[in-house]
C-alpha cells in the first residue's frame, strides 16, 4: 500500500531533517580524512568482495515478509516460491512446478528438496504453510482474505485453497518471502532467518544494516560476501558518493547532472508514478469519520478530460525531473497488464478548451472559466516536505492557467491529507509489480478504504472487467480484462474514458554506481520503497 508506507516515512520527516545537516558534515569529514590519509588512487580503486550501498531508507517495520517486507523488491534474506525475470515472466524460485485446478480454487506447488535456512534447518512445506497463515492474520498490507486453507501435503508439496478464483494470487506467491516456523517469534522482524542469498548480521537502527553471504543459499552464489546498507538522506548519500565512501548511492534528479569521480550515473526505468487523484463525485456526503466527500468542479468529466488532454507531461518531465523520467498515462505504464491505447501522444490545449466550452465552462473577464456560476478552480494538495510533488503541483498549476482553470497548491501532512483527500485533488504516487493495485484504485468496492479509491470512483462496466480479471484462471486471460477496464473502445477508467486521475510522470530511479561495478540489466522499478535494485544482486560483479 504505497501511500500508507509513504505516510509513515513522512511522519518522521521533521526528525530526519534535523539529522540531515549532521550527515552532510559527516560526509565532508569523511572526504577530508580520506584526502589526508595518503591512500593512492590504485589502492582506493582496489576491488574487494564487499560493497557499501546508500540506496534507500530504513524499513519501518523491519524485515518480516509476513507484514510486507520485500513487496517492492527482493526480500534479500528470504526466498519466494516464484520470482520475476527481467521481462516480468514468472519463473520458479523455491517452487519447481505448480498446477491449478479447473475451477481455479486449488493451487498445488511442488518445492525444491535441497533448501536450507541460514541456520542449517531444512525449508519444507510446513514453513510455507506457516508463512501464509501468519501473513493472513498479520493485519498488514498483505491481503489474504480469499485464502481458505493451506495444507502441507508432504515435505515438498503445499496446497492452497481459495474461496474464489483469484488470478492475482500468483503475485502473492512471487512477493512473499518464506519464514522459518521453528524460530519465528515477535522479534523476527529484527532478527530474520531465511533462505535467501544473504543473512543479516548487524542492524544499527537509524544508521546501517550489515549483511553477509548465506553459505546455505541454493541459488547462484553472490560475488560479494558482505554488503553494508547505509541509511542516509539524499544529500548525505550524494556527499558519501563524492567522497568515494559508497559503491552505490541513490540520488534525486537535482544531483544527477553532477560529476562524481570514479562513478557513473545509472538510470532505471520505473513505474514509480505521480499523478493527480480527482474527487469523482459531487459535494454533499461525508465519511463515517466526518470527512467531506466530493468536489463540484472535479466531479465534472469535462474538467478532468480537458486537464488530461491539455497538460504538457513532457514539460513536467523536463522541468521538474530535469529529464530523468517519462510522461505517465496510467498507474501501470509498460507493465504486462497496461493498455497501450491509453497513451496521449501530444497534449492538445485547443482541444481541451473546446471540451470545456462545449460543456458550458466559459471564460469570465478574469480569464477563469465558469459554469452556472461555479468557477473552474480547486486546491491541489501535496504531502509537505516532498520537493518533487511540490514542484509538480506548482508547475501543473501554471500549465492550467491558459486553459482557464485556476489551481491553488498547498502542502499538508499525511495526517491532514487523510481527512482532506476525499474532497480535494491530491498529488499521489503509486506503481507496483502487481495488477491488484489497479483493482484497489478503481473498484467501487474499495471506495473510501484508506488511500485506495479515495476519490470515490465507480463505473459498473469497469467493475465487471475488474472482477473478470480477478477471477481469470490464467495471466493471459486476466491481462485482457485489466486492459479492457482501462479502455474497451467505449468506456474505461483511463483518460480516454472517465479520467478520474491525471497521471503525469514516471520517475527514473537514479544511482551513482562505482564505474567498475556491473549491476546488469534491471527490470522496471516499482514505487520507491524497499530496495528493488537488489533484485538480481547475485549477478553483480566487478568488470
* Nearest partner of 428 among 70, 4, 127, judged by Cα: 4
3-state secondary structure (DSSP) of residue 293? strand
CA 155 to chain centre: 35
**CA neighbours within 13 Å on the CB side: how many for 356?**
29
Mean pLDDT of the chain: 91
Where are the strands (E) in 120-181, listed by range? 147-154, 157-162
Residue 205: Cβ-neighbour burial (10 angstroms; 0-12, 13-18, 19+):
exposed
Helix (H, G, I), strand (E, B), or coil: what is residue 314?
A: helix
Q: Is 325 helix (H, G, I), strand (E, B) or coil?
A: strand
What letter does residue 59 receive in the DSSP assignment?
P
Q: Whole-angstrom Cα distance, residue 30 to residue 98?
A: 52
Secondary structure (3-state) at 74: coil
Long-range CB contacts (< 8 A, 24+ apart) of 145-153? 148/105, 152/124, 152/125, 152/126, 152/128, 153/108, 153/125
For residue 12, the model assigns a pLDDT of: 43
Chain centre distance of CA 96: 28
Q: What is the pLDDT of residue 436?
A: 95
Classify the C-alpha dihedral 384-386-390-393 as positive or negative. negative
> Using the 8-state DSSP alphabet, how is residue 49 labeled?
S
Strand partners of residue 502: 276
- What's residue 73's pLDDT? 80
As a whole number, mean pLDDT of residues 339-350 equals: 95
pLDDT digits (tens, 9 = 90+) for 43-72: 344 578 999 999 988 988 899 999 999 888
> What is residue 71's predicted lDDT score, i.e. its pLDDT?
85
The per-residue pLDDT for 110 is 98
Distance CA(105)–CA(365), nearest Å, equals: 62
Residue 40 has a pLDDT of 35
Yes or no: say if 512 and 263 are a contact pair by the CB < 8 Å rule: yes
Cα–Cα distance measured from residue 522 to residue 411, given in angstroms and rounded to the nearest whole number:
34
259-265 average pLDDT score: 97
Question: What average pLDDT score do residues 285-308 get?
Answer: 97
Distance of CA 45 to the CA centre of its chain: 34
User: Taking the CB of residue 264, how many other CB atoms lie within 10 A of it?
Assistant: 12
Virtual torsion, Cα 232, 238, 242, 246, nearest 10 deg: 40
pLDDT in tens, 99-154: 999 999 999 999 999 999 999 999 999 999 999 999 999 988 889 999 999 999 99
Residue pair 350/341 in contact by the 8 Å Cβ criterion = no
Reduce the secondary structure of 487-539 to three states and give it as a string. CCCCCCCCCCCCCCEEEEEEECEEEEEECCEECCCCCCECCCCCCHHHHHHHH
CA distance to 329, 432, 495, per residue, from 187 (Å): 42, 28, 46
Q: Are 246 and 237 in contact (CB under 8 A)?
A: yes
pLDDT at 46: 53
Which of 9-13, 227-231, 321-325, 518-522 shows the lowest mean pLDDT across its residues?
A: 9-13
Q: Which domains does the chain have, with CATH numbers?
A: 2-60+198-268 (3.40.190), 78-191 (3.40.190.10), 273-507 (3.10.105.10)
Contacts (Cβ under 8 Å, ≥6 apart) of 119 = 180, 183, 193
Residues 6+ apart with CB under 8 A from 170: 82, 90, 475
Strands 50-54 and 226-230: parallel
Classify residue 416 as left (phi > 0), alpha (psi -120 to 50) or beta.
Answer: alpha
- Burial class from Cβ neighbours inside 10 Å (0-12, 13-18, 19+) for residue 241 reads buried
CB atoms within 10 A of CB 504: 25
Please list, residue by residue across 358-383, b when 16 or more beta carbons sit within 10 angstroms of its beta carbon and e when fewer do: ebebeeeeeeebbbeeebbebbbbbb
Higher pLDDT, 429 or 450: 429
Which among 75, 67, 70 has a CA at the least distance from the CA of 139?
67
- The closest of 213, 194, 192 to 64, measured between CA atoms, is 192
Contact, 103 vs 165, CB < 8 A?
yes
What integer pLDDT is reported at residue 318 of this predicted model? 97
Whether 77 and 196 have beta carbons less than 8 Å apart is answered as: yes
Q: pLDDT above 70 covers what percent of the chain?
A: 91
Q: What is the CA radius of gyration of the chain?
A: 24
Please give the residue that has the higher pLDDT: either 129 or 528: 129
pLDDT reading at 35 higher than 70? no
Would the pLDDT of 489 be above 70?
Answer: yes
Which pLDDT tens digit goes with each residue over 408-448? 999 999 999 999 999 999 999 999 999 999 999 999 999 99
- Measured distance CA(104)–CA(86) in Å, rounded: 27
pLDDT over 70 at 42, yes or no: no
Asked if 75 and 179 touch (Cβ cutoff 8 Å), the reply is no
- Helices 301-310 & 349-358 angle (0-180, nearest 10): 170
pLDDT band (50, 70, 90) for residue 74: confident
Amino acid at each position: 500500500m504505497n501511500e500508507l508506507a509513504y505516510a509513515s516515512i513522512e511522519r518522521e520527516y521533521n526528525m530526519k531533517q534535523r539529522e540531515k545537516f549532521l550527515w552532510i558534515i559527516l560526509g565532508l569529514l569523511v572526504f577530508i580524512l580520506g584526502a589526508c590519509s595518503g591512500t593512492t588512487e590504485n589502492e582506493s580503486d582496489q576491488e574487494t568482495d564487499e560493497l557499501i550501498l546508500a540506496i534507500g531508507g530504513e524499513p519501518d517495520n523491519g524485515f518480516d515478509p509476513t507484514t510486507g517486507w520485500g513487496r517492492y523488491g527482493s526480500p534479500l534474506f528470504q526466498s519466494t516460491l516464484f520470482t520475476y525475470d527481467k521481462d516480468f515472466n514468472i519463473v520458479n524460485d523455491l517452487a519447481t512446478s505448480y498446477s491449478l485446478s479447473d475451477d481455479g480454487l486449488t493451487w498445488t506447488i511442488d518445492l525444491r528438496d535441497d533448501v536450507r535456512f541460514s541456520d542449517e534447518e531444512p525449508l519444507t512445506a510446513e514453513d510455507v504453510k506457516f508463512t501464509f497463515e501468519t501473513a493472513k492474520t498479520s493485519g498488514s498490507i498483505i491481503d489474504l482474505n480469499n485464502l481458505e486453507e493451506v495444507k502441507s501435503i508432504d515435505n515438498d508439496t503445499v496446497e492452497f485453497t481459495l474461496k474464489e478464483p483469484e488470478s492475482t494470487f500468483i503475485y502473492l506467491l512471487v512477493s512473499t518471502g518464506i519464514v522459518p516456523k521453528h524460530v519465528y517469534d515477535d522479534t523476527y522482524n529484527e532478527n530474520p532467518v531465511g533462505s535467501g542469498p544473504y543473512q543479516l548480521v548487524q542492524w544499527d537502527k537509524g544508521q546501517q544494516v550489515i549483511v553477509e553471504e548465506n553459505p546455505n543459499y541454493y541459488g547462484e552464489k553472490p560475488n560479494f560476501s558482505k554488503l553494508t546498507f547505509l541509511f542516509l538522506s539524499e544529500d548525505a548519500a550524494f556527499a558519501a558518493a563524492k567522497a568515494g565512501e559508497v559503491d552505490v548511492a541513490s540520488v534525486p534528479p537535482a544531483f544527477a547532472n553532477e560529476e562524481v569521480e570514479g562513478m557513473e550515473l545509472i538510470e532505471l526505468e520505473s513505474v514509480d508514478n505521480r499523478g493527480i487523484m480527482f474527487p469523482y463525485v459531487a459535494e454533499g456526503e461525508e465519511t463515517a469519520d466526518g470527512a467531506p466527500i466530493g468536489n463540484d468542479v472535479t466531479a465534472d468529466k469535462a474538467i478532468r478530460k480537458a486537464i488530461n488532454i491539455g497538460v504538457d507531461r513532457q514539460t513536467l518531465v523536463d522541468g521538474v525531473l530535469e529529464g530523468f523520467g517519462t510522461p505517465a498515462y496510467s498507474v501501470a505504464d509498460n507493465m504486462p497488464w497496461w493498455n497501450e491505447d491509453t497513451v496521449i501522444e501530444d497534449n492538445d490545449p485547443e482541444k481541451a478548451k473546446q471540451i470545456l466550452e462545449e460543456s458550458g465552462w466559459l471564460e469570465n473577464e478574469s480569464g477563469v472559466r465558469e459554469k452556472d456560476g461555479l468557477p473552474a478552480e480547486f486546491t491541489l494538495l501535496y504531502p509537505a516536505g516532498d520537493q518533487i510533488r511540490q514542484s509538480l503541483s506548482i508547475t501543473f498549476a501554471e500549465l492550467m492557467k491558459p486553459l482557464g482553470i485556476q489551481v491553488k497548491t498547498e502542502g499538508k501532512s499525511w495526517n491532514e491529507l487523510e481527512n482532506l483527500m476525499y474532497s480535494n485533488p491530491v498529488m499521489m504516487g503509486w506503481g507496483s509489480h502487481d495488477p491488484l493495485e489497479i483493482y484497489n484504485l478503481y473498484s467501487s468496492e474499495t471506495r473510501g478504504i484508506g488511500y485506495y479509491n479515495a476519490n470515490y470512483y465507480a463505473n459498473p462496466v469497469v467493475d465487471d472487467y475488474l472482477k473478470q480479471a480477478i477471477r481469470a484462471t490464467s495471466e493471459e486471460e486476466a491481462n485482457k480484462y485489466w486492459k479492457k477496464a482501462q479502455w474497451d473502445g467505449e468506456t474505461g477508467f483511463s483518460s480516454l474514458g472517465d479520467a478520474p486521475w491525471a497521471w503525469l510522470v514516471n520517475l527514473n530511479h537514479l544511482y551513482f554506481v562505482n564505474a567498475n561495478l556491473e549491476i546488469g540489466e534491471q527490470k522496471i522499478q516499482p514505487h520507491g520503497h524497499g530496495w528493488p535494485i537488489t533484485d538480481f544482486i547475485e549477478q553483480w560483479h566487478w568488470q
